[in-house]
Copies of this chain bind each other. A is one copy, B any other.
């Protein structure tokens, strides 16, 4: 087993997705993942705190994608800023369809992982709201709008997985956001 492992992180993620797909999530051990990736268990634990974090370890990078996108646009109107964040997230995910589809299938089969996924997305919403508030948006509005937007993103994401890699996640996100209009008590909008 090589002591020096280039891109050990990516290789561990690939190995884990393969093993989870073959055997399910529960029975696969950190040891087996490290072995398949050709790295030591120590490298596994240095890269990921535990097995679950292999599936959820991209959170920090995703937050970067979101804040970079919001930095590039005015925070008002809020629809534009939140839309830019979700659009950037969609573009980031689009080329990773295959890996994300495998990951989603593993998560869908394990309630504990579904719960972790929901909390991760809620934390993105909270982070985006704090960021917008830091730039002057009304905190109450930012909190509601980012939470709703993330719930909408999650649905668009599931539709994208169902529709296949040639469908556009960004388009599905935009469509889903616009269907929120039906939720507003203004007859003129429907």
Contacts and interface: CB of A to CB of B under 8 A. Distances in A.
A151 B147 contact: yes
B141 A147 contact: no
Interface in A83-106: 83
B148 A180 contact: yes
A177 interface: yes
A141 B187 CA distance: 16
Contact of A183 (B114, B149, B187): B149
**A contacts with B: majority SS:** helix
A137 to B, nearest CB: 9
A152 B141 CA distance: 10
A116 to B, nearest CB: 6
B116 A79 contact: no
Interface string A144-162: 1101111110110001000
Interface of A: 77-80, 82-83, 111-112, 114-116, 118-119, 122, 125, 140-141, 143-145, 147-152, 154-155, 159, 176-187, 189-190
